[in-house]
Amino acid sequence: MRSFLVVLSLLVAPVVRGQTVVEMDLKSAKQVLSNHKMGAACEILTSLANNYKQYTNIRVQSHRQRNELALLAEAMRTDFDGSGTSYIPELTVWAIMNDTGGRTYLVASLIDRRAVLMTNDLDYLKGMMAYEIMSRLRRGEISLDQARRKAMFLGIEMQVDEKESGKRTISFFGHGTDEDQLVGKLVVIEPPDFTWP
């Protein structure tokens, strides 16, 4: 009976895709930071966007630039354009075009406020964010409904199957970025912590 109620609640939940991907070149991103008194984060942003050693699918931390990285993560949670209640601070992705034309996706980490997730592939980023949602759920930091809502805002479906024994199975499904928009099971990726040089 319990399993039926969980599935039923998923069927009637409104489908909302609120995740925002903000695309900008590196120069524009640095200008946004400077205009909002967050210019101290420009150096770490430049380093991440140019990513000369091609690091990807990681949770970036820093000892040397700890405060600057925390400021960059805070900037990603900030509503710069006045969207108000429609702005989703934890789930806004920055897609930064670097000096050579490459694109780097960055988003503030959900489990470490002083870190950012970094990848070159939006689907991998969704998989890493799904992992962070699961981590917060397992730690009891968010409820099942909050986790489901965050997943929904990411544009992914979180399916929960709960047995009578109370054991839960949670799966994520996402839309592909190709033109067919196929729905498939999303691979949940644990991003390794990486200390930025």
The pLDDT tens digits for 58-80 are 999 999 999 999 999 999 999 88
**CA distances for 79 relative to 67, 83, 174, angstroms:** 20, 6, 26
The pLDDT tens digits for 94-141 are 999 998 889 999 999 999 999 999 999 988 898 999 999 999 999 999
Distance CA 156, CA 93 (A): 15
Phi, psi (rounded to 5 degrees) for 107 = -150, 145
Entry pTM: 0.82
Print the domain residue range for 124.
2-195
Structural domain total, the chain: 1
Distance CA 82, CA 142 (A): 27
Q: In the sheet where 20-25 sits, what is the strand order? A: 20-25, 92-97, 103-108, 116-119, 58-61, 193-195
The pLDDT tens digits for 16-55 are 345 678 899 999 999 999 999 999 999 999 999 999 889 9
